Structure 1
Amino acid sequence: MKRLVVLGGGESGVGTALLAKKEGYEVFVSDKGKITDKYKKVLINNEINWEEEKHTEDLILNADLVMKSPGIPEKVAIVQQLFAKGVKVISEIEFASEYTDSNIIGITGSNGKTTTATWTNFILKNGGLSVALAGNIGDSFAKAVLNKSAEHYVLELSSFQLDGVEDFRPHIAVLTNITPDHLDRYEYKYENYIASKFRITKNQTENDYFIYDADNPTIAEWLSNNKIKAKKLPLTFKNEVQEGAFLDKNNNIIVRIEDKEFIMAKEEIALKGEHNTKNAMAASTVAQLLKIRKQTIRESLGSFQGVEHRLEKVLKINNVQYINDSKATNINATYYALDSVSAETIWIVGGVDKGNKYEELLSLVNEKVKAIICLGVDNARIKEVFSNCVEHLVETQSMKEAVDFANHLSEKGDTVLLSPACASFDLFQNYEDRGRQFKEYVRSL
C-alpha cells in the first residue's frame, strides 16, 4: 500500500486525505499548527492518522508521495528534507485531477479570479450544466472529486496551488491579470511569480483554450517570448479580435468564438468598473465555449450579485457608505477599489505587507482620500508614504477601534472603505474574518 503524507490539516489537506483513503492509500496528516475541531472530527470519523503542532520526521520522510498544502512555503525544513530524499511533493490540485474525467475550467490571476470563477459558475449553473465551484474558494477540489459532484469543475487557483502542478491540465484556462503579489514567497523576484501563474497552461494541448487579458503588459510580454499550445482567446479594450472578446466603439462587449458572436452593452453588466468588465468578458467567453444560450449569458451578466468581501456595500449610516473590500490583499486590488469610489473617502489600510509599492496609489489617495486609518501591527511604510497626503492618519490595533475612528472622522456623503492592500494574518485569521468583523462593527454603530 502506498503511503501518502499530507502536510497541513486545513480544507485542502483534509480533502486530499479523504480522497487518498478512498483510492487505497495509507494516509497520514501532519500540521505544524493546530488543526481545527471541525477537521479533527472528519479525520477521526474516517480513521485517518494525524498529528498537530509538530512534524515528526520518522512519520513523514517515509512517504511515497507528499501533498503540501498551498500555505506552506517550499523553504520550510521538512519540505527541504523531502526534496533531499527525492520524495515527490505535489499540490492538492495535481493529486485530485488524476481521479476525475470531468471538464476542468481553471481560473487564476493576481486579482479578479474569485469574481470570475464565481460568475462563470453562476452562468454555467443558470445554463443547466452540472457544475461545481472549488479550489481556492468553497470546497477543496479533492473533496469535490471525492463526492463526484459535477461534470464541470470551475476551479479558482492561486499561484501557490499552481506551484505544485506537474500534469494538471484544464481544458479551459483563464488568466485574469498579473501584477506583483506574494513576492515574499518568490524570493522577491517578479519573474518567479509570473512563471507560477503561467503553469496553468503548461500542459494544455491544441484542443484546449487559454483566455487572457491581452491589455495586461506582463501577460502580453510573456506571451511574446514564450510559446503555448492552447488556442489563445484574448480579452481586450483596445482593438477588434477575430476570436476572443473585445469592446467595440459603442461600448458593447463582443465575444467571438468560431464565427459565433455574443453582444451585450457594457452598461447592462451588473458589476461596475473596468476590471469587472474584463471579468464579465472572461466568464462569458467560457460560457460561449460551453455552448450556453446567449439569453442565459445576458441574464446572468445582468443579475450577478458579486462576491463577499470584494467591494461589498455593507450599510449606509447617516448618509455615509461603508464598503467591505477585505479581499484586497495587494496594491492592485486596492487601486481598483479607490478608483471605483467617487466620494471623499476614509480609507482603512494595513496588515502584513508582501513587499508593497504604496507609491502606486499616491495619485488616487491625493485625489480621493481625506483620512487614513492604519490597521496593522507595523504601519511604518504606510505612514512614510502617505503622511503628507492627508489631514488625519491614525493607527489602530483592532477592527472595532478602526470602525469607531471611521465613524468619528466621516461626514455626510463620505465613503468608508476597508481595502487593506495587505494580508490579514497579523490581527485576523484570514481576510474573511477581517471582512466579517468590519461588517459586524459597522452594523453595531
Structure 2
Amino acid sequence: MPQANTTYNYERVIILGGGISGLGAALLAHEMQYDVFVSNMGDFKSAFAKALQTNNIPYESGQHTWSTISNASLVVKSPGIPDTAEVVQKFTAQNVPVISEIEFAAAHSNENIIAVTGSNGKTTVTSMIGRILKTDEADYTMGGNIGESFAQQVAQGEASHRLLEVSSFQLDGIKSFKPHVAVLLNVTPDHLDRYDYKFENYLASKMRIALNQDAGDYLIYNADDPAITNALEQSDIKSQRIPFSLEKQLDHGASIVDDSIHIQLEQSTFTMPIQQLSVKGQHNTANAMAAATTAKLLKIRKETIRQSLQSFQGVEHRLEQVLKINKVQYINDSKATNVNATFYALDSMEQPTVWIVGGVDKGNDYSQLYRLVNKHVKAIICLGTDNSKIVEAFGNCVDQMVETSSMEDAVRVAYKLASAGDNVLLSPACASFDLFENYEDRGRQFKNAVRGL
C-alpha cells in the first residue's frame, strides 16, 4: 500500500466530480482506507458507477448535497470544475483544502515523476516519451490528462517512473506536486474563459509545473516561446533549465544543427537526422526534441531513443489520416481545441483544403489564421451550435461557407465540396462540448461519418 507523505488531513475525503480523475482519486482513497465520498453534479458513466459499487465507495449524482459533504477534511476536485463553482467556494470559505487529483496522487507516491504540459503537443510528447520508455523496457506508467488517472495508477501499485500529461486545470490545484523532469512545450491563448480572459493568468497556471522543483530537478522548456522565456526571466524557479529551440543553436540543450536534432547535456551529446523522424512537420521536430531530451536525462541509450522516434506513429485525433475517397484525403485533427493547434494543422496542408471548424469558443483570436486560410482553404464548414464568430472572422476569406449542426451533415457537405486532390480537414480550434461528449467523441464521429460515405 502507498504511504501518504504530506500533512493533509485525510480523515474525511470528499471527491468532487465523477469522471476519470474523480474515480481514480476515489479508488486511491479507498485503497488507503480513508473515509471517502464521491459527489458528482452530472450522471456517472455506468462503468464508473459499477467500479464505485464494486469497491463499496458511497457516492451521489445529480447534485452536491451540502449536508453530506460539508464535513470534509480534504476535497479532491476534478479539473473540469472551476474554482468559482459555488460548492468549491463554500469549502474555501471553511478553509478546507481543495486540491487536484494529481496533487492527491503525488502525496501518496515517492516515485520519479515526469510531467509534460503546454497548450499544444503535450499528448504527442507524452506518447513519444512513453514509446521510448516502452522500448527501453522501463518500469513506468503513463496517464494523467490522458488514459488512466495518476491516482488510479498509484492505487494499482508501484512503478519506477510516473509519466504524466498535465493540464493547466490540474496544475491549478497543486500545492506540493513536484516532477523530477518537467516539460513546458508552449503557451498560447487557450481556455481563457477559465482565466478571466487574461492570458497572463493562463500562463501563470502553466508555469506552476516547476513551482516546487529544486536544484536536483529539470525543466525542459521551449526557448522559442517568448511567453515562456519572459516568464522564466521573472521567476525564481530553482530547477536546472534545459532549453530546446528550432530557431537558434544552443551550447546547452536541444537545437537543430545540419538538419539534425542536436542535444548537448554536460558531457553527453545526442544527434538524429530530422528526416529519420516518423512524424513530420516543424512542430513534431520540436516535440521530438523535448521527448529525446527527457530520455537523455533519464539516461536511456541513444539507440533506443532513435529507434523509438523512428517508429512512433503519432496519436489518435492529431492530424490522423483516416481514409482517401475519390482521391480526397480525410484528416482527423479533433484534438485541435485551440487556434494555435489549428495553425499547425493548416500550415501542414499542401493541397487545397475543405476545413471543418467550430464548437465552444474559448475566447479565440482567429486573426492569426487568416494568412493560412487564404493560402490553403477553399471552403469552410462550420460545425457548432453558435457559428457567428467563425462566420464573422472568415466570411470574406473563402467563397464557400456552410453552417452545419451535426458531424454527419458536415462530412456530407465536405464530400460535395471537395475535388480530387483536396484534403478534408477536421480541425475545430474550439472545445467540443456543445455537440459532443469530448474531442475523442468528436473525432470518432468524424471517422465513422467518413467511413459511411
Give how far 1:388 is off. 1.1
Deviations 1:160-209 (A, max 9, x none): 00000000100000001000000000111111111100110010000000
Q: Which residue of 2 aligns with 1:210?
A: 219
Aligned ranges 1:138-153 → 2 under 5 Å:
138-148=147-157, 150-153=159-162
Q: Which residue of 1 aligns with 2:7?
A: none
Q: Which residue of 2 aligns with 1:167?
A: 176
Q: Which amino acid aligns with 2:394?
A: F
Match of 1:290 among 298, 306, 310: 298
Question: Is the partner of 2:446 in helix, strand or coil?
Answer: helix
Question: Is the partner of 1:195 in helix, strand or coil?
Answer: helix
Query: For 1:418 and 1:237, how far apart are their aligned partners in 2?
Result: 27
Question: Do residues 180 (structure 1) and 189 (structure 2) align?
Answer: yes
Question: Do residues 362 (structure 1) and 362 (structure 2) align?
Answer: no
Question: Is the partner of 2:354 in helix, strand or coil?
Answer: strand
Give how far 1:226 is off. 1.5
Q: Which residue of 2 aligns with 1:14?
A: 23
Q: After alignment, is 293-302 or 418-427 more displaced?
A: 293-302
Deviations 1:209-237 (A, max 9, x none): 00000001100111112221000000012
Question: Is the partner of 1:14 in helix, strand or coil?
Answer: helix
Query: For 1:170 and 1:283, how far apart are their aligned partners in 2?
Result: 15
Query: For 1:334 and 1:152, how far apart are their aligned partners in 2?
Result: 32
Question: Is the partner of 1:321 in helix, strand or coil?
Answer: strand
Query: For 1:65 and 1:127, how far apart are their aligned partners in 2?
Result: 39
Question: Is the partner of 2:162 in helix, strand or coil?
Answer: strand
Across the two proteins, how many residue pairs are aligned to each other?
Answer: 444
Question: Do residues 79 (structure 1) and 88 (structure 2) align?
Answer: yes
Deviations 1:12-54 (A, max 9, x none): 1011011011112100000011111110001111011100000
Query: For 1:204 and 1:226, how far apart are their aligned partners in 2?
Result: 12
Question: Is the partner of 1:338 in helix, strand or coil?
Answer: helix
Q: Flag structure 1 segments of 5+ consecutive residues without an equivalent.
A: none
Deviations 1:88-122 (A, max 9, x none): 10000000001112210000000000000010010
Instruction: Report if aligned partners of 1:132, 1:149 keep a CA contact under 8 Å in 2.
Output: no
Give how far 1:149 is off. 5.0
Match of 1:108 among 117, 126, 129: 117
Match of 1:119 among 116, 124, 128: 128
Coordinate RMSD, CA, aligned: 0.8
Question: Do residues 396 (structure 1) and 397 (structure 2) align?
Answer: no
Question: Do residues 230 (structure 1) and 243 (structure 2) align?
Answer: no
Deviations 1:383-429 (A, max 9, x none): 11111111110000100000000000000000000000000000000
Give how far 1:127 is off. 1.2
Aligned ranges 1:417-428 → 2 under 5 Å:
417-428=425-436
Q: Which residue of 1 aligns with 2:441?
A: 433
Give how far 1:238 is off. 2.6
Q: Which amino acid aligns with 2:440?
A: E
Instruction: Report if aligned partners of 1:235, 1:278 keep a CA contact under 8 Å in 2.
Output: yes
Q: Which residue of 2 aligns with 1:55?
A: 64
Identity of aligned residues (%): 57
Aligned ranges 1:235-254 → 2 under 5 Å:
235-248=244-257, 250-254=258-262
Query: For 1:392 and 1:263, how far apart are their aligned partners in 2?
Result: 46
Query: For 1:69 and 1:302, how far apart are their aligned partners in 2?
Result: 36
Deviations 1:287-346 (A, max 9, x none): 111111111111111110000000000011111000000000000000000001110000
Query: For 1:15 and 1:117, how far apart are their aligned partners in 2?
Result: 20
Q: Which residue of 1 aligns with 2:55?
A: 46
Q: Which residue of 2 aligns with 1:372?
A: 380
Q: After alignment, is 108-117 or 15-24 more displaced?
A: 15-24
Q: Which amino acid aligns with 1:79?
A: V
Query: For 2:148 and 2:69, how far apart are their aligned partners in 1?
Result: 26
Q: Which amino acid aligns with 1:64?
A: S
What TM-score do you get using the length of structure 2 for normalisation?
0.97
Q: Which amino acid aligns with 2:187?
A: I
Query: For 1:311 and 1:190, how far apart are their aligned partners in 2?
Result: 26
Query: For 1:311 and 1:149, how far apart are their aligned partners in 2?
Result: 34
Match of 1:189 among 175, 190, 198: 198
Query: For 1:149 and 1:229, how far apart are their aligned partners in 2?
Result: 28
Q: Which amino acid aligns with 1:286?
A: T
Question: Do residues 136 (structure 1) and 145 (structure 2) align?
Answer: yes
Deviations 1:325-381 (A, max 9, x none): 000000000000000111000000000000000111000001110000000000001
Q: After alignment, is 410-419 or 119-128 more displaced?
A: 119-128
Question: Do residues 405 (structure 1) and 433 (structure 2) align?
Answer: no
Question: Is the partner of 1:123 in helix, strand or coil?
Answer: helix
Deviations 1:106-154 (A, max 9, x none): 0000000000001001001101211111100000000110112521011
Q: Which residue of 1 aligns with 2:5?
A: none
